[in-house]
Amino acid sequence: MLELAIGIILAGCGIGAGLALIAGIGPGIGEGNAVAKACEAIGRQPESKGAVTSTMIMGCAIAETTGLYGLVVGILLIFVAPGIFTGVLQRTLEAMNYIPH
């Protein structure tokens, strides 16, 4: 039983990490839009290339934040969460005087 429970924990963490990285879609679309508009602006006014590029990179880096939230959550789910959840499970079972068989 305990093995099954731990297996479910690991599977849940893995699936959760995969789902968390869906957050990458939003920044991808957003940054693509930003770069497209920057290209348009440079095409219209080639002399303002420097200012447009630096503003675009700054905006891209800020728009990336939501994607990075997903990344951080995914990394936590893979490297940190299984240990914590397994520990909680074992402590609960110990408190219940459960003997694995």
Partner 1 sequence: MTKEKKNKLIDIALLVMMILPFVLCMVLKVLTTPASEGIAISGALIYFEIPMPLMPLYITEVQVTSLAVIISITALCLYLTHGIKVIPDSKRQLVAEYIVEKVNFLIKDNMGSRYMAFAPFIAAIMGISAFSSLSALLGLFPPTSDMNIVAGWGILVFIIITHYKLKGGLFPYVKGFFEPIPVFAPFNIIGEISTPVSMSFRHYGNVLSGVVISTLVGSALGGLSEMLLGWLPGFLGDIPFLRVGIPAVLSVYFDLFSGLMQAFIFAMLTMLYVATGFPEEEYEKRQAKKKKKALSAAQ
Binding site for partner 1 (CB under 8 A): 57-58, 61-62, 64-65, 68-69, 71-72, 75, 79
| Closer of 8 and 61 to partner 1 (Cβ) | 61
Closest approach, Cβ 4 to partner 1, in A, equals 27
| Closer of 67 and 85 to partner 1 (Cβ) | 67
CB neighbours of 41 closer than 8 A, spacing ≥ 6? 48, 52
State the amino acid at position 23 in one-letter form. A
d(CA 35, CA 28): 11
